[in-house]
Amino acid sequence: MKRIIECSALAIVLLSSIAVSGCLDGGSGEDDEREITLYGFSVKGEVMDNSIIPAFKAYWKETRGEDVNFVTNYAGSGTITNQVITGAPAEIMILSTEWDALKLKSEGLVTTDWKNFPHQGTITKSPFIILTRKGNPLGVEDFKDLAENGIEIVHADPTTSGGACWSVFAVYGSELRSSGSGENATALLEGVVDNVISWQSSARKALSQFTLGIGNVFITYENDGLLALDEGYDYTLVYPPSTILSEHKVVMVDKNIGSEEREMMEAFVDFLYTEDVQRSFVEYNFRSVEDSLNSNYTEIEDPFTVDHLGGWETAHENVIDGIFRDIKG
């Protein structure tokens, strides 16, 4: 009996020694795995999880011999921005709008200037279109038609959704470009807002509402409309003659990135601009920053960017914080 107790004690000592050694050495296997915490706006989930993250894992393993794990979170662009401002640990963020990048910069969380990245930090683009029920029964052809009686619109909330901001800019900016009148543009936006029957926190949640049969019109990213068709929904995509081209930004949240991790974070950002990755974005219905890859997309008659509204700071202050809030109350 004494021998059994002595052997058991020896086994415990040996196991304890191994455990302590493992802690001191950093362990092996999964303990050595590198990690990237990635936050993205809602419609980026499929392409990142199914294509780009696996491709980067393979690339990093092949070139560096290291495994890399991703922790991801997808929600409205404004929502994830607010989460990070209040302490969420994102290291890389893919944002719907530059406005959210500017908020992160003003909080001291982002110090690396995304405009020094290729294409000034834009990794994909998507025009804003109108999604209608099968066959477009109401004959919608332009944003002007969305202010008519009988139109019921599903829309995201600009306070939490970058897609919602783009939608507001698309409506307001299209009329401003066609008539040259800020008064006319405001009147159109008011008519459209009056026809919204459901406000959601993100573009993806608004699309989910639409797929449940709520509303007869949804203003959204082209890529989300095409995704709905790919998933078997029988909708009609309407391309307004004049619409905004949304530009999606990547930023590094410097405050959350240690010096030993910076090289990998920079490598991931660079990876997003490689031709293979840009082709992956196109396969998931986003327009590439390389126009030569976008030949299969519908041509927009009069595309414009937020720069035509004075840039993000001016446009957000004047159109979202000013005109839209006055209309919606």
Res 165: pLDDT: 95
Q: In terms of DSSP H, where are the helices of the chain?
A: 2-25, 45-47, 53-64, 77-85, 98-106, 162-179, 182-194, 203-211, 222-230, 262-271, 275-283, 312-315, 325-328
- Other CB atoms within 10 Å distance of the CB of residue 9: 10
44: which DSSP letter?
Answer: G
Query: For residues 85 and 103, is the Cβ–Cβ distance under 8 A?
Result: yes
Residue-level pLDDT, tens digit, the chain, 329 residues: 333 333 333 333 333 333 333 433 333 344 468 999 999 999 999 999 999 999 999 999 999 999 999 999 999 999 999 999 999 999 999 999 999 999 999 999 999 999 999 999 999 999 999 999 999 999 999 999 999 999 999 999 998 899 999 999 999 999 999 999 999 999 999 999 999 999 999 988 999 999 999 999 999 999 999 999 999 999 999 999 999 999 999 999 999 999 999 999 999 999 999 999 999 999 999 999 999 999 999 999 999 999 999 999 999 999 999 999 999 98
Distance of CA 215 to the CA centre of its chain: 24
Query: For residues 188 and 144, is the Cβ–Cβ distance under 8 A?
Result: yes
Q: Give phi and psi for 199, each to the nearest 5.
A: -105, 130
Res 288: pLDDT: 98
Distance between CA 307 and CA 249 in Å, rounded? 15
Buried b (16+ CB within 10 A) or exposed e, 180-212: eeeeebbebbbbbbebbebbbbbbbbbbebbee
Res 301: pLDDT: 97
How much is the pTM? 0.86
Res 189: pLDDT: 98
Query: For residues 222 and 296, is the Cβ–Cβ distance under 8 A?
Result: no
Domains of the chain as residue ranges with CATH: 29-124+247-288 (3.40.190.10), 126-246+298-328 (3.40.190.10)
Distance between CA 195 and CA 218 in Å, rounded? 11
Res 13: pLDDT: 36
Is the dihedral angle over the CA atoms 10, 16, 22, 25 positive or is it negative?
negative
Distance between CA 162 and CA 76 in Å, rounded? 7
